[in-house]
Structure 1
Amino acid sequence: MKKVFLPLLSAALLALGTTEVNAQTPYKTAIGLAIDVGDGPTLVGPQIKHSFGGANAGNAQVLFGDDVITLGVDYSYNQQIAGTNGLGWYVGVGPQLSFVDGRGWYGGDNETYVAIRPAVGLEYKIPTAPIGFHFDWKPWWNLTHNSNFEPARFTLGFKFTLK
């Protein structure tokens, strides 16, 4: 067992150490457009992502759809993919508030929904241009009004990167 465990532990520590070198996002701040699609309404709006140093970043967005306005913030852990130039992955989570006009598509009263949105995705920053893209799986876990989980939600983003 020791003959298998120690080499695996050593390899894992070495891999962790080498990925920390490339942990930063390839930019400090980016602003752009987010599109949230899947089961339910499509939402579109502005977003901003800011790197706090190392692998840590925050993202905020205001999304608009038919009779819905959603405000959200996310924390994400970001890593560049070794051997690529500008491609990285991230995992994160954050709260969202949705304000629904019940007179429209949803029917019923005006309501505010509180949700938690985990995210797992890929981000690509064009190395020679201040442009980035992201695609992620971002399910919607509603905590209010008959709590439910909607796994079929995704976001696509286009960003202008700032240093």
Structure 2
Amino acid sequence: MKKVFLSLLAASFVAVGIQEANAQARYRTALGLGIDVGDGPTLVGPQIKHFFDGANAGNAQVLFGDDVTVLGVDYSHNQAIAGTNGLNWYVGVGPQLAFIDGGRWWYDDRDGDRTYFALRPAAGLEFKIPSAPLAFHFDWKPWWNLTHNSNFEPARFTLGFKFTLK
């Protein structure tokens, strides 16, 4: 009897753990549109977010603006906000490459074409509509340029609109 009880107790803990992981990631993969705004140009482009498990996700995006293309990937740790249905907070970081054509606006650099390497931390909120395959996010995502006269631009934010896949 004791073995049966311990087996049922262990199975209950495993089931609750799996349910908690699924509650944090209300979808597995999402495709959508990212918009990067703030000081400097507005950038727009496709993005994909994929959950590796209940809390850990990767995000990749290609953003386009006037004379610039940005390629980036991010890791994020995601957690559900207690008492809400579909609202999560997340923090993360990831490398970005910016390919500049002419350097017209990028840090007053007018020397021509350049490639910039940056790290971008992120802190934000994501809402997955429980009854629809749609999710939205808003985050603070500063730009920390590590090349060509390194600098930190704190006034950058991203918005995202995603179609979620199971």
TM-score, structure 2 as length reference:
0.83
> For 1:99 and 1:140, how far apart are their aligned partners in 2?
14
Query: Which residue in 1 is equivalent to 2:120?
Result: 117
Offset at residue 68 of structure 1 (A): 0.3
1:126 aligns with 2:125: no
Is 2:151 the counterpart of 1:151? no
Q: Is the 8 A contact 2:24 2:88 kept in 1?
A: no
1:136 aligns with 2:131: no
Cα RMSD of the aligned pairs, angstroms, is 1.8
Indicate the residue corresponding to 1:78 in structure 2.
78
Runs of 4+ in structure 1 deviating by more than 3 angstroms, as ranges, are 103-107
Give the SS at the match of 2:52: strand
Query: Is the 1:62–1:69 contact (alpha carbons within 8 Å) kept by the matching residues of 2?
Result: yes
Alignment of 1:1-163 (within 5 A): 21=20, 24-102=24-102, 104-105=104-105, 107-163=110-166
Q: Is the 8 A contact 2:81 2:88 kept in 1?
A: yes
1:143 & 1:26 partners in 2: Cα distance? Answer: 35
Give 3-state SS (helix, strand or coil) of 2:88's partner: strand
SS state of the match for residue 27, structure 2? coil
Cα drift, residue 109 of structure 1: 1.0
Structure number, greater radius of gyration: 2
> Structure 2: which 5+ runs fail to align?
1-16
Query: Is contact 1:134–1:157 with CA below 8 Å preserved after alignment?
Result: yes
The answer to whether the 8 Å contact 1:24/1:53 transfers is: no
Give 1:46 shift: 0.2
In 1: Cα distance, 2:105 partner to 2:124 partner = 30
Structure 1 unmatched ranges of 5 or more? 1-17
The aligned residue for residue 8 of structure 1 is: none
CA distance in structure 1 between the aligned counterparts of 2:149 and 2:104, rounded to whole angstroms = 20
Q: What secondary structure is seen at the aligned counterpart in 1 of 2:50?
A: strand
1:51-97 superposed Cα distances (whole Å, 9 cap, x missing partner): 00021000000000000000000000000101100000000000000
Query: Structure 1: which amino acid aligns with 2:90?
Result: Y
- Say how many residue pairs are matched: 146
